[in-house]
Structure 1
Amino acid sequence: MTNDLYKSPQSVLDLHDGLPFAAELIPDIFIQLNHGPVIHKILVARLLATVRIPRDDAITNNKFRSKAQAAISHLLGASLVERETKIGPLYLTDRGYDFVRKLRPEVLQNLSSKIEPKVKARGKVKSKPVWKPDLEVLRTLSERIETAKRGLPRQHPLEERAGGMAAKIIASLPDMPLDKLYVLWTNASKQESHSKQILRLAAPMLLDAIDKERRRRGLDAVSLLPNGEFFRWPSTIAKEGDGQLSFEADAFGVLALAGYRVGAKRGEPEAARWRTLSRLFQDEIAHAPAGDWGTRGSARRLKKLAYTIAALTRNAKRRGPQMDRAVSEWQTDLDHLHGRFYVGRFDFPWPKLRGR
């Protein structure tokens, strides 16, 4: 249902094509968000429904949408609203919650010139109009601000949303494998400082629940991964020795036959080397000695890859600076394998309980 809130006295009149300033739309945005998250497209459509613009008047419709977008962009930039994801629905933040509680017409009037979109006429950008509302416009604006304030939920809306998000995950903790529990703990730890407030609010709830689950499991919560799939990542520190290769020659041969090479003369680009290593880890290897390399995707397979490259690195370091490029590329490849395939799957160095 449409209304005439913006159609009373022509204070914005000819200067502004009879449309509200972008700042005037802010109370109506909060009125909509007070009911819960709203998709951007739907929010603009609801705002458009508050004015009477003929559907066939495309120019005026586009001008209004531009104003609505300017108001929403300002709220996002000021962290008064946010999205859970890039294309997710808009939510009211606690900062936005407090902003509405203290909102007065004068605040919006001061914002009007700042956020009003620029207007083009005959290819030239016109100066922004100045909003000088009369008493009647201020009265209707005050009414909408009060409506927004009355509609505020008792609890900051994101706290409830974050609680619901965390509750769904927490319900699955008792049946969650230990390796996935650890990954969840790691992610939640990072989200304590996330730019998205909803994730920052949910993170402590998840971390506390994971700590309780670990205590419930007792010793099982600090054991190694199921089926013994655990190994220490190899070191590339080269101790003094005779310079001989410290690994089986056939292991190096498997890498070479797969096309894995480093160095200035015959080496492959980084992306190509990483594709080769991923294939060696995840696929069957026809030319590998039976049993030595384990099954694809296994701890044994990754350990064989990592320890072979680490041994190559240590040996090359002993040979002097002429091997610096090879050493650097092997170290880079080891770091890639460590981050992509080892962390959270075969390492599992569970940290101490929080608060201890």
Structure 2
Amino acid sequence: MKGHAKDKGKGSAASLRPSNHFVPYPTELCRPILIVLARESLATQTLAKAVARQVDFPSKAITTKYPTEEGNSFKKSFDQALRHLRRENMVLQFGNTWSIGAEIRDKARRVSIPPFSLETNATREHAGWPMNVKQFYDEIATVSVDRLTSMLDSAQKVAANYKTLGELGTAVAVIENIRAEVERRVHQLGNDEYFRWPSTATFGGDGSLVMPDVPEVSPLKQLGYTVGRNGTCSASRQQVLIKAFLEVLPQVAGVEAWGEPNTGVRLKKIAHNLAAMTKMAKRRRSGDHRDAINMREADLTFLHDKFYVGRYDREWSWPTTNV
């Protein structure tokens, strides 16, 4: 059949594929998916067609099942590759739309992709029930959004291909619990959107405006967070920020607005505090604030990667320090 995936060179996955093999393996589609998403976010169906073009597979044959391929199709390999990338937190899903973070986008052609399990790679079949159901019930309130999505995907497959009524009942119960947990988080985070760190500078100003209701000493300062020429090292600042997010804060004016430990409210408050102070420093015309700016931006990146991605990135927008 014409139009099959071209060999990409000696030693490539395509060149090692048996000559009678037409459908790409999931491992062959992971990087093309990242390369396509590096250009733009796409819906699942559009992404599948774009990836097919990337590997020279006829887009009209995406869903075709080939008897010589044990009934496999391009769509099946594509879906499995996409699930693998999602499990490894290399792609992000919002409804039916897929995207990748900036840290992956900038190196989509060379980033290391974790290997598939031998069973998955050989059979191209999803695991029937790759989760500990008891552990699921114990941890559902704390797992990340991506993990919930993976669990839901697994449970829906079991429900559609159950072997016993007991297995079906368990799968349905898991699905309903995940839906209830998602609704709980949406409701909670919706009620938490009550405070935004105010801008303490005006366009064209020097960033020195002080608002009377802004406490001079923030909880971060009380915990020892310091930047600038006399600032502490990166590791020390990160430990302070971890403590500020996970533990009870010092009792200073306005601390109640920082929310409870280990919540979206707390992380959002810390992030907007750092972003606001960074903007002020960037707008000041007097003094050299480059060290303080660089330190705060590095700390924002640390918080973003450690606590935000996969847990809060579906619910609220990460603040920017652009001015």
Q: So what's the TM-score if we normalise by structure 2?
A: 0.41
More helix by share: 1
Structure number with greater Rg is 1
